[in-house]
Amino acid sequence: MSRFISAYYILNTAVILTYPLFSLWARHEYASAVTMLDGWEKQTLTTLGAMALAKFIRKVNIDSFVSDMFMFTKSGILLLSWMMDQRIFSWYCVAYAMLFLYVRRPEYKGPSRIEWLNPATLKRLVLEPDDTDKNVAWLVEFYASWSPPCVSLEPTFADLSCKYTTADLKFAKFDLMRWPKTGEEYGINVAGTSKQLPTLILFEKGKEAVRVPHVYKDGRIARARLRRSDLIAAFALDSRRKKSLIKATFSKGD
């Protein structure tokens, strides 16, 4: 939880909390427009409330929800400030630009059982395992550190690795920014508009078994469902863990 007291969350919250001060100043400066400003603010607040409810229901995790609400709230403030006074609008433009350039969302640094792969270890451990590891399945996240969905998934993927890592299933991450050719080999688009970041692939005996988001034969990409429950279902993690525990129990009995 310490990540929520990082500069990203504190500074974004601080910038948002400056709005009531500007609103009070505008009400004093433009007394004749108070009724109009009240209407704008009520409409913006209602819209933000509806968007917050929709995003909370469909959230990947709390990190993604908070990040989305920062974006929506700042957009609403930007619109209101334009209607208030262009000087206030300019201040917010500068503040948002500074936040975007110099303050990044913190990386997740909590507990995990994730292994970090490079092209050599991907080939040796996942694609061409030796006889002792040939029955080990690997769930690999192909990610880019600049991608917001990848950053949002970090806590969820780490939590899944802690709960579902067994002797028969391991979790790993592969950085597509360092090794983009590997992404090309697996048909993963790493452009800024890509809908394939992150891509999670389950490998069994060196072969791809399941991929999220799914890519159809005609090249269309399915909508990525990255909530914890969605990933558990897509990769059958509960049943895999159960089978592994049963296998381990019988092995001990022998």
84 plus 125 within the same structural domain: no
Q: Does 218 map to a domain?
A: yes
What is the three-class DSSP state of 212? strand
Given a cut of 70, whether residue 36 has pLDDT beyond it is yes
162 plus 249 within the same structural domain: yes
* Torsions phi, psi for 108 (to 5 deg): -75, 130
By the 10 Å C-beta count (0-12 exposed, 13-18 middle, 19+ buried), 220 is classed as exposed
**Angle ∠(92,97,102) on CA atoms, nearest 5:** 130
Those residues whose C-beta lies under 8 Å from the C-beta of residue 19, and which sit 6 or more positions away, are 77, 80, 81
Q: What pLDDT is attached to residue 110?
A: 85
pLDDT tens for residues 101-110? 998 888 888 8
* Torsions phi, psi for 211 (to 5 deg): -135, 140
Given a cut of 90, whether residue 225 has pLDDT beyond it is no
Q: What is the CATH number of the domain that holds 201?
A: 3.40.30.10
122 plus 245 within the same structural domain: yes
User: pLDDT-based confidence at 33, cuts 50/70/90?
Assistant: confident
Nearest to 209 by CA among 147, 127, 144, 133: 127
